[in-house]
Amino acid sequence: MDSRKNIIITGGNGCLGTELTKMLKSKTSELGSLPAIYDQFDIVSLASYELDITNLEHVSKILEEKQPYAVVNCAAYTDVDGCEDEKDKAFKVNALGPRNLAIVCERKRAKLIHISTDYVFDGEEKEKRIECDVINPKSVYGASKALGEEYVRSFCSRWYILRTSWLYGYHGKNFVNTIIKAAKENGVLNVVDDQIGSPTNAVDLAYAICKLLITQEYGLYHCSGNGECSWYEFACEILNVFGIDAKINPCKSSEYKRKAKRPKFSNLDNFMLRLTVGDCFRDWKQALSAFCNNGYKS
């Protein structure tokens, strides 16, 4: 066992970072307890103002102080339309940030888990995407995340890249929160029904991270909820699970003028996860129901 005991989480105050920090510190989750080996680790969760991943010198300083066994990069610029307006910022956070972490992790012989996205695909293929499929991003956000993946692979030898999709959790802004708030305030919603994907509960993704982190099963993984639906179907199930009386009308993507192109079909297949540590992700409806019953506060 490596003598380094610190696990550093970047973006520690975000949707995934908060859930992962909670899970690692409590050594348990609604999906089960973590292996006993996690008793040996101290968890260092850092917000962006505490660790600026875009600054190589700052990354070097913090990781030299903390001497990490592993770094989990949950930090990202995820405003998809905002990335179109702020291309420099998008590439600085989503590409140079992971590069800086990879460079220093390699120097410190630390593991690096990097979180990526379904947006690296163009979304034109109406089949589940597996890890060996060719990527073809169609937005600044997707392109910046794709370059981040490339940098991690190039500069670090102990890496795991986890692509996820339609992530929601107990913390931060996400689709579930948005639908609940809008339904209560407006009573009537229009939601697109021609974009298909896999909703992912942050608890499931955090648990997958914990399963992989203590292994040497390095590589690229798809990590998203099982099953598929449209945003419209997702919204309808949200209202059903939470018992909210509101009307949802299906509409087409063409009715909304968005700066960034969204994938039409972005269902990820957790193929490599099944072949290694096992697919711990629940069916998206089951995970949403658990989200409702296990502490969600609107």
Q: Which residues are catalytic?
A: 141
Specify the DSSP element, H or E, that contains 212. helix 202-213
Query: CA 268 to CA 170: how far, in whole Å?
Result: 22
Query: CA 148 to CA 140: how far, in whole Å?
Result: 12
Determine contact, residues 44/6, Cβ cutoff 8 Å.
Answer: yes
User: Which residues, including other chains, have CB under 8 Å from residue 208's CB and lie 6 or more apart?
Assistant: 162, 221, 223, 273, 277, 280, 281
Both tokens of residue 92?
Answer: 């600085």
Specify the DSSP element, H or E, that contains 51. none
Query: CA 97 to CA 269: how far, in whole Å?
Result: 27
Both tokens of residue 20?
Answer: 């992962």
